[in-house]
């Protein structure tokens, strides 16, 4: 498998590839390399942070099946939960930087922007995040059903308020509009009938799913031309009978893993494969083994998300934030805070990652992280209402982001590469003539310096 194709595969199925790994894999066939990617998926463990102390606090106030708290105690527990969500955010990024299965983690990141959800309960959102991870390469039918039963999703889209006497249509609408079919492929009547099917679906305090039988509508429903005593699972089955569901998901996968501009013939090819059994792994294997996936038109045409950019840099130069809050704030500045989507539609991605402010920050980011450049820490909003207080307490608004970086690891792997080899490793897109002129005129003293320069040009934003 040639170098460019390996780089392309690992940028789309992961966050890039190091020189040593690339050297080991390039003697293998495409089929063998793809099989290696998938072989790692069975080793993935749930992502969990320590919650024993918070759990103890909850149990102390849990009596007769209810959480009994005064306002002050409730606010204290909520604050602890928010802090733990920030901790989970950091743990997730650390997992992306050091994955047990890079493909599983890339798929988890992808699905987090399909089944978009937000919650202030750390127990529930941690479970939700691991549900994404568990089903990331599995059976899409079971995946959708599991998501519909998650406590975080039930709260986020108001399905806890969905009862027989007064159906709440929010979850049913978003299930079809954003998760499975897309606008224009269902009717308002379908929404109303689907909402009835999900009535009574709720969760216990610990997140376990159950149905409040008295609040569930057991009556006959007509949904997408079928009539029966449908519950939520039956509605999901009927949705997946629509080929549009397979097409809708394949379109999202196409834009994320292949090209922001969809080739309709290729999309129909993928749709037919996925529609057979909704096997996510089978679909992704087909894509990565296809010759057309490696065509020039699909290489270097996507703009990296902020998280992809950070993880890709870490792939080359391992680094660590000495102050985790600064990593959270940096995500905010770049426009992508994990576990904190702006709305249920998620991040639009690609060109929407770039505006005049974020582009300048992205181009300066390598110097900020790797060369002690100064960043303005002027607060521009909140993350779970805790950052304003934190940054207002800082006397020096012009500040360094404190990073521990491992140049020793970099030098062992990349220190003796030629500048041309380093450039070819880091850049997969075609390089603008002006950029080439800029790079050729640089006075380079070592590969550390050249690496920072390569990561600071517009072409490095592409994958």
Task: In whole angstroms, give the CA distance from residue 141 to residue 147.
Answer: 10
Beta partners for residue 201, in sequence order: 211
Cα–Cα distance between 317 and 10 in angstroms, integer?
17
CA distance 277 to 257: 20
In sequence order, the 6+-apart residues with CB closer than 8 A to the CB of 356 are none
CA distance 341 to 335: 10
- The confidence score (pLDDT) of residue 382 equals 44
What are the structure tokens assigned to 432, written together?
């603008």
- Classify 259 in phi/psi space as left (phi over 0), alpha (psi -120 to 50) or beta: beta
What pLDDT shows up at residue 70?
78
Q: Give pTM, 2 decimals.
A: 0.94
* DSSP per position, 255-305: IIII-SS--HHHHHHHHHHHHHH-BHHHHHHHHHH-GGGGSGGGSS-SBPP
Looking at residue 276, what is its pLDDT?
Answer: 98
Give, in order, the Cα–Cα distances in Å from 115 to each of 153, 207, 397. Answer: 9, 18, 37
Q: Return the closest-CA partner of residue 341 out of 161, 159, 174, 201.
A: 174
Q: Would you give per-residue pLDDT tens digits along the chain (463 residues)?
A: 999 999 999 999 999 999 999 999 999 999 999 999 999 888 899 999 999 999 888 777 776 666 777 788 888 888 999 999 999 999 999 999 999 999 999 999 999 999 999 999 999 999 999 999 999 999 999 999 999 999 999 999 999 999 999 999 999 999 999 999 999 999 999 999 999 999 999 999 899 999 999 999 999 999 999 999 999 999 999 999 999 999 999 999 999 999 999 999 999 999 999 999 999 999 999 999 999 999 999 999 999 999 999 999 999 999 999 999 999 999 999 999 999 998 999 999 999 999 988 999 999 999 999 987 666 555 444 444 444 454 455 444 556 788 999 999 999 999 999 999 999 999 999 999 999 999 989 998 999 999 999 999 999 999 9
- Per-residue model confidence (pLDDT) at position 80: 93
């Amino acid at each position: 498998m040639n170098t460019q194709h390996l780089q392309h595969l690992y940028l789309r199925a992961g966050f890039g590839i190091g020189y040593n790994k690339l050297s080991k894999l390039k003697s293998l066939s495409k089929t063998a390399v793809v099989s290696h990617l998938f072989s790692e998926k069975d080793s993935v463990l749930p992502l969990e942070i320590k919650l024993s102390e918070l759990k103890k606090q909850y149990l102390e106030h849990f009596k007769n099946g209810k959480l009994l708290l005064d306002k002050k105690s409730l606010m204290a527990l909520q604050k602890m939960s928010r802090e733990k969500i920030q901790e989970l955010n950091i743990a997730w990024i650390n997992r992306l930087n050091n994955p047990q299965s890079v493909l599983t983690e890339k798929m988890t990141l992808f699905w987090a922007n399909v089944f978009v959800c937000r919650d202030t309960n750390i127990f529930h959102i941690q479970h939700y995040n691991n549900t994404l991870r568990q089903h990331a390469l599995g059976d899409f039918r079971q995946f959708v059903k599991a998501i519909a039963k998650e406590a975080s999703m039930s709260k986020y889209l108001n399905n806890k308020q969905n009862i027989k006497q007064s159906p709440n249509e929010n979850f049913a609408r978003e299930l079809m509009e954003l998760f499975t079919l897309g606008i224009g492929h269902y009717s308002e009547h379908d929404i109303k009938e689907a909402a009835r099917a999900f009535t009574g679906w709720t969760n216990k305090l610990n997140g376990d799913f159950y149905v409040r039988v008295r609040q569930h509508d057991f009556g006959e429903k007509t949904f997408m031309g079928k009539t029966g005593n449908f519950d939520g699972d039956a509605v999901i089955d009927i949705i997946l009978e629509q080929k549009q569901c397979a097409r809708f998901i394949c379109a999202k996968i196409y834009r994320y893993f292949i090209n922001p501009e969809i080739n309709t013939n290729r999309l129909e090819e993928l749709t037919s494969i996925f529609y057979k059994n909704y096997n996510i792994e089978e679909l992704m294997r087909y894509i990565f083994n296809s010759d057309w996936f490696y065509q020039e038109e699909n290489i270097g045409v996507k703009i990296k998300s902020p998280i992809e950019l950070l993880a890709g840099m870490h792939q080359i130069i391992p680094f660590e934030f000495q102050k985790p809050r600064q990593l959270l704030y940096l995500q905010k500045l770049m426009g992508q805070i994990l576990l904190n989507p702006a709305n249920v539609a998620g991040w639009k991605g690609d060109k929407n990652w770039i505006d005049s402010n974020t582009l300048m920050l992205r181009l300066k980011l390598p110097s900020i992280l790797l060369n002690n450049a100064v960043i303005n820490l002027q607060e521009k909003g909140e993350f779970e209402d805790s950052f304003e207080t934190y940054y207002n307490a800082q006397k020096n608004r012009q500040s360094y982001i404190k990073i521990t970086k491992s140049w020793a690891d970099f030098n062992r792997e990349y220190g003796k590469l030629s500048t041309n080899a380093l450039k070819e490793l880091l850049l997969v897109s075609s390089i603008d003539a002006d950029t080439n002129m800029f790079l050729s005129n640089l006075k380079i003293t070592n590969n550390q310096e050249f690496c920072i320069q390569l990561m600071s040009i517009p072409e490095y934003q592409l994958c």
